[in-house]
Structure 1
Amino acid sequence: MDTSKNRHIFFRTHISQIVQLTDEEFEQVLNCFTFRKYKKHQYITQQGEIGSHEHFVLKGIVKSSYTDPSGKEHILQLAMEEWWFSDINAFNNEQPATFNADCLEDTETYSISFENKEKLCAESKKMEYFFRKKYTSGNIALQKRVLALLSSSAGERYNQLLIQYPSLYKRVSKTIIAAYLGVSRETLSRLSSTG
């Protein structure tokens, strides 16, 4: 985003898809968020850290992943513009972060702490409703992703990614796309050459 005015318009337009805010109400919302800029490859959160935030992506792509004890990375989410991401358990329960969140591009976010989110929801029924709707749609998307990983073929997952997020394929490396789909790099090459 070029200016704070553009960021504000972008964020307000996003919120207005669910609730309409007055100028004063939107100002109240902005006061609860912090604008942050990150460089490509910079971590926003690392496994084991305390003090998680919830983030709205203004610009860029963020990869949320878990590295298991054997060192294998499992990608849970690739969050682009207008997406929300957080380590839900760490954010809500003040637990150490389970996931890494790192930037695949230069990234800008609006971030909110648990305390500020609680305060905002207590003071604004509109924003409480907004967050509830976003939380529900996020859970539905996660459930669909898990079911796809469990029951869909590699080709079906690949085709679904192209339909749902066509720009993602152009912006993210094939290695990351393969890991996100749960396939090898070779399988992805085969799928993309036949697709």
Structure 2
Amino acid sequence: MIAVDPTDSASLLAAFGALGVLVVTFAESGLLVVGFFLPGDTLLFPAGVLCAASARHVPRLELWQVLVCAAVGAVAGAQVGYLLGRHGGRPLLARTSSRRVRAAVARAERLLARYGYGKALVIGRFVPMVRTVLHPAAGALGVPVRTFTCWQCVGGLLWSQSLVLAGYLLGSSVAHVDAYLLPLVAALLALSLLPLLAEAHRTRKRPR
């Protein structure tokens, strides 16, 4: 029996391959609380690296399968999250007692107000935690269905495909790069947290 850690990208890829990419991107793109603790950026990039790894590497992933699964999971998950927010409204977002979830909801609302629907839905995809609550928040705030669907597809495809392809290009150009997956994932996680740190710094400097 294989023990699977749902928060660990290597464990998920080893157990489920491309299917794991689909499930995680689906959950992280719109399922509150559940998707909040799953790897997103730190799953897509290593998946791309493993697609370029040698045939002897386990797990062996096919690039086209990972790209398709990442795209389907990102787009479908966001649409489900939007529908949950649209029908559940603000009580759905306020039901959780998690301080991190509430803070992410507040960031998502500020993002929508500051940049408008289109830019916010694209930019928010690249911000950890925010992308999980952004789509339910958009539904609760009454973003038009057509506008949301168009821009979330653009953001979802840009986010999912760019990370997988970046990992694939690195894996293709650097020999045995798959041996350094853990440091790469750690570096990617640190980079993905920079927008959150910048936002926290701006909030702290803002006059009360």
Common fold by TM > 0.5: no
- TM-score normalised to the size of structure 1? 0.28
- Structure with the higher strand share, 1 or 2: 1
- TM-score normalised to the size of structure 2? 0.27
- Structure with the higher helix share, 1 or 2: 2
Higher relative contact order (CA 8 A, sep 6+): 2
